[in-house]
Each structure stands twice: as C-alpha cells, then as structure tokens.
Amino acid sequence: MKKRTMYGWGSAIVIFLVLMIVTPTIPQSQAYHDFADQRTFFGIPNALNVISNFPFLIIGLIGLVLCFYPDDYFRFSLRGEKLGWTCFFVGIVAVAFGSSYYHLHPDDARLVWDRLPMTIAFTSIMAIFVIERIDEHKGTYSIVPLLLAGLVSILYWRFFDDLRPYAVVQFVPCIVIPLMAILLPPMYTHSTYWLWAAGFYLLAKVEEAADKPIYSWTHQILSGHSIKHVCAAMVPVFLTLMLAKRTVQTERISLYTTWKISWRTREKGSDDEESFECTYSNVAVEESRSGDWRDSRSLLST
C-alpha cells in the first residue's frame, strides 16, 4: 500500500513537472482588475463587489460554530474530518475579508489575499474527499501538504507572474470532486449535495467571465462579478446543509451505481406495467364471455 501511495504521488509530480515544461507561462492580465461595476456607495468604492462577500462570512461562521457546538452538531465519524472541515470553513470566512479587501482597490498585491483563502477551501475539500472516500489516514495526513501546495501556488504566481500552479490548485478539484462524488462509494447519505455545490461553483465562474455583459443586460444594476460572489457562497451553504442532514450509510453505494439501479428498476417497472395491462384486457374478455353464457342460461330457464 505504501509503494502504491508513493507511485501515485510520484506520478502526479512527474505529470505536473511535464506540464510546467511543455506549457507556456500564464501571466496575470491587468485587465482582470477592470470590473464592470465600479460605483461607490456610502463611501465604499466598488461597493457591490465588496458587500456581496458578506454571505461568505455568515455561512463560514455558522459552519465553524456547528463543527464544535452544540456537542459536535455535524456528528463526524472519522478522525481527520473535523480538522478538514474546520480548515474549509476558516477559508470561507477568510474569503469574506480577503475578497472585500481586494475589491476596495483591485491590484495584484491585494489579489493575493483574495486567492489565498480560496486555496485553503479548495485544498481542504480535496483532503476531505480522500478522508471520506479513499483512506482516512492518508486523507488526514494530506491536509497539511495540500494546504502548503496551495500556498506555494500563490507565492509562485506572485514572484514569477505565472498562474499555472494556481490554475491546477483551483481547477483540478472542480473536475476531480464531482467525478469522485459520482463514482466513489460515500460513507454518508446526501451525496447529491456535492453535485449541487459543484453546479453553483460552475455557474459562478460563468458569471465571473460574463461580468460586463451581465452588467449591460441588467441596465447597470448588477454586474456578473457581484452575482458570482452570491452564487459561490451557495457552495458552502449546500455543504453545510449536507453536513447537517447526512447520516452514516449502512451500505456504501456510489451515486453512479444508485442511478444505474434506479434506471433499471424504472425500466423493469414500465415492462411490468405493460404486461399487466395486457393480462387485464384478457381477463375482461373472459368475464364478458362468462357473462354472455350466464345470460343465455337464464333465458333457457325462463
């Protein structure tokens, strides 16, 4: 098992190094800081882009409180779960402050404090998935290395103006987590909440890319980036609901297997319904014939 783990980490590192060699650098575009909505309200520059981070603070604090009070509300079953989810909610709270600080005066120096909390959240989620669905000990021990990998990706971008490591840290979880949620058997119920969270994050990225068009479509009322913050905040909302509702599954079945069984059951049910209708029509014909025989018998007796 240890050799397998070493081979896995070694393969991942080799693939990453090859990608770094064969792909061109991705510098930070300064046009990124030119957001559509730059209005000032109540003395706050870029007000809606700042204020729209408030939901992160609320849901992050709620999640942190419920991790520890009242009496372990989320009912964690594995050793590393509480640490992983605590890091996640700390990252969500930090997003509220880091993103607000950046949007007050957008530039590369402040963007560090916007992206750093997000890497904490991304890497924590990856560790949590390993804990729950692959191996408890490996997942627990991976929390610190993954957090450090996120930090290194930010520092690498800042010092070398190259976003490639940060892009890996941000987008690999977006692909891997939904696949793991579908294919790997979960320890807990309510796994579909992972897919809802992934869907809202994808929607947030679309809104971020369409910042200026959305601002134009809404007649300069809301920008895509402001809406993006609200949609992205729905990710921890769904994950918090999942933690509150879930229970340990007696039989671990992946979502893919569950969907396949459900589909087969539905197909079988439709086949049974067709055969039942056919049987019912035959019975009806027999009953009508027996009824005719009884009628003829009664006529003879009279």
pLDDT at residue 40 is higher than 90: yes
Model pTM score: 0.83
Which of 55-59, 101-105, 161-165, 297-301 has the weakest average pLDDT? 297-301
Distances (CA, A) of 90 to 55, 167, 240, 243: 14, 21, 13, 16
* 238: containing domain: 39-245
On whether residue 213 sits in a domain, the answer given is yes
pLDDT of residue 174: 85
On whether residue 123 sits in a domain, the answer given is yes
pLDDT at residue 301 is higher than 80: no
Residues contacting residue 214 through CB under 8 Å, at least 6 positions apart: 36, 207, 222, 223, 224, 227
- Phi and psi angles of residue 124, each rounded to the nearest 5 degrees, phi first: -65, -40
On whether residue 296 sits in a domain, the answer given is no
pLDDT of residue 293: 43
Closest CA to 59 of 200, 269, 185: 200
On whether residue 70 sits in a domain, the answer given is yes
pLDDT of residue 299: 41
- CA dihedral 165→169→170→175, nearest 10 degrees, is 120
pLDDT of residue 268: 75
pLDDT at residue 5 is higher than 90: no
3-state secondary structure the chain: CHHHHHHHHHHHHHHHHHHHHHCCCCCCCHHHHCCCCCCCECCECCHHHHHCCHHHHHHHHHHHHHHHCCCCCCCCCCCCHHHHHHHHHHHHHHHHHHHHHHHHCCCHHHHHHHHHHHHHHHHHHHHHHHHHHCCHHHHHHHHHHHHHHHHHHHHHHHHHCCCHHHHHHHHHHHHHHHHHHHHCCCCECCCHHHHHHHHHHHHHHHHHHCHHHHHHHCCCCCCHHHHHHHHHHHHHHHHHHHHHHCCECCCCCCHHHHHHHHHHHHHHHHHHHHHHHHHHHHHHHHHHHHHHHHHHHHHHHC
On whether residue 34 sits in a domain, the answer given is no
On whether residue 166 sits in a domain, the answer given is yes
pLDDT at residue 241 is higher than 50: yes
How many domains does the structure of the chain reveal? 1
Which of 20-29, 148-157, 159-168, 282-291 has the weakest average pLDDT? 282-291
Which of 7-21, 40-54, 66-80, 100-114 has the weakest average pLDDT? 7-21
CB 63 within 8 A of CB 236: yes
Q: What is the mean pLDDT of the chain?
A: 86
Report, in angstroms and rounded to the nearest whole number, the Rg of the chain calculated over CA atoms: 28
Closest CA to 126 of 185, 176, 86, 197: 176
pLDDT of residue 171: 86
pLDDT higher at 287 or 234 = 234
pLDDT at residue 9 is higher than 70: no
Highest-confidence segment of 36-40, 72-76, 131-135: 36-40
- CA dihedral 120→123→128→131, nearest 10 degrees, is -130
Closest CA to 87 of 45, 135, 25, 150: 150
Domain containing residue 141: CATH number: 1.20.1070.10
Name the band, by pLDDT with cuts 50, 70 and 90, for residue 61.
very high
On whether residue 277 sits in a domain, the answer given is no
Per-residue pLDDT tens over the stretch 170-226: 888 888 888 989 999 988 999 999 999 999 999 999 999 999 999 999 999 999 999
Name the band, by pLDDT with cuts 50, 70 and 90, for residue 289.
very low
Q: Read off the pLDDT of each residue in 96-117 and give the average, rounded to a whole number.
A: 96
pLDDT of residue 264: 84
pLDDT of residue 79: 81
Highest-confidence segment of 3-7, 98-102, 140-144, 265-269: 98-102
On whether residue 251 sits in a domain, the answer given is no
Within a 13 Å sphere around the CA of 90, how many CA atoms are in the beta-carbon half? 12
